[in-house]
Structure 1
C-alpha cells in the first residue's frame, strides 16, 4: 500500500481514507524551462476528514496528526529542493479545506525526473520505472508524459475498504505552453480553444487497473 501512497506523493493524506483529486500542472516555455505544480485536493470530504483526524485508527491504519502530515510534506519539499536546476520549491497544506500543494520552477524537464526519483528514493527505496516521468524533445517539438511502471499488483493487495478510496478519485493533468498545441496522442485529451493548453481528466481507479493511461505525447508548433 505504501507504494501507491507515495505515487500520490502525500501518503499521510492518502491514509485519511477519503475522496480526493490530484491535479498535475506543467507550464512549459519554448526554451524548455517552466513551472510544475501538484495539488492533492480532499476538500469535497472535509467534513468527514474533520471527524477522522480526531480518531487514532481507521480501517486498521494509524490516522496521522496534522503535525505528521506537515512533517511528511516538509520532507518531500527537502527531497525536491536538493535537485539541481530546480528553484522556488514550495509546499503548503490547508487544513481548513484539506488541500496540499507542491510547486517549483525548472530549467530543464529532465530536472523534474530527477526530483521525482529523489522523492521515491528517499521515501520508498528503489523503485523501477521512475527514472523518466517527463520528456521534452526540442528537435521534434514534443512534450511527453511517461508512465513505465505498474501499481496494479499493489492495488490488488489492498483491503476492500482501502480500495474504495480510489472509486471516486480523479487524476487531472494540465499542460500549458508558450507554443501552440498541434496534437495529443492520448484520445482523452482536451485542447483549449487557444491551443495553448491541454487537459486530461481520468478516474484514478481506471489508471491503477490500466484501463486508461496518463501517458501522452503532445506535439507543439511555434507557428
Structure 2
C-alpha cells in the first residue's frame, strides 16, 4: 500500500529512517541524555524519550524536531522550571494554524482524527505534590504525570494541555 485516500504512505523503512534521524539529533544535542525510541507499527505508536540537564534544552530540541518534521505553526509549547519553588511548567498556546491545516483535509481523512489521541507523560525524580491541569493524572508512585486527550480538542483549541506541576522539596 503506497497511498491512502490520495496521500502517500511512507514505508516502514522511511519512517524508521526519520525516527533514527531524530534520535541521532537528540543524542548530539547539548544537555540531552538517555535517548530511547520505541516503534510499534502494528498500533501506529512512536515513542521517543530522553533525560535532560536543563529545561531550556527541551525548548530548543522541540522547535528543531518540529522543523525537521516540517510541522509549521502547529505547536506553540514551551517549558520552564523554577528551582526555588520546585515547579515545572509546560505552557501551551493554541494556534489557528492547526485548524486551518485540518480544514484543508478531505472529509474521509478528517475522520481519522475523530478517535486519535495525544498522550504526554513526564517523569520526575522527586514526588509530585500538585498539578493545575484537571486532565492530568498523577501516578500511584507520584513520580509521573500523564495527560491523555483527543486530538480534535487540540486542533480546535478546546483543550489546553498547559500544566504547572509542583514537586516536593
Deviations along 1:107-156, one digit per CA (max 9) or x if unpaired, are: 112111111111123332864865x5222111221111222352222212
TM-score by length of 2: 0.83
> How far 1:181 moved relative to its partner?
2.3
- Shift of the alpha carbon at 1:167? 0.8
CA contact under 8 A between 1:86 and 1:105: conserved in structure 2? yes
1:156 to 87, 103, 125: 103
Are 1:117 and 2:63 an aligned pair? Answer: yes
Does the CA contact (< 8 Å) of 1:88 and 1:104 recur in 2? yes
Match of 1:142 in 2: 87
Partner of 2:161, secondary structure, is coil
Out of 15, 18, 31, the position equivalent to 1:72 is 18
Alpha carbons of 1:70 and 1:198: their partners in 2 closer, same or farther (altered >3 Å)? Answer: closer
- Aligned partner of residue 133 in structure 1, secondary structure: strand
CA deviation map 1:152-201 (0-9, x unaligned): 22212222122112111122222332323222111122233443332222
Question: Which blocks of at least 5 consecutive residues in structure 1 are unaligned?
Answer: 1-54
Tell me the secondary structure at the aligned position of residue 210 of structure 1.
Answer: coil
Residue aligning to 2:134: 187
- Output the CA distance in 2 between the equivalents of 1:136 and 1:120: 22
Return the structure number with greater relative CO, CA threshold 8 A, min gap 6. 1
Instruction: Tell me the residue number matched to 1:13.
Output: none
Aligned to 2:34: 88
Correspondent of 2:7 among 61, 64, 68: 61
RMSD of Structure 2 on Structure 1 (CA): 2.4
Q: Structure 2: 5+ residue runs without aligned partners? A: none
- Report runs of 4+ in structure 1 exceeding 4 Å deviation: 125-130
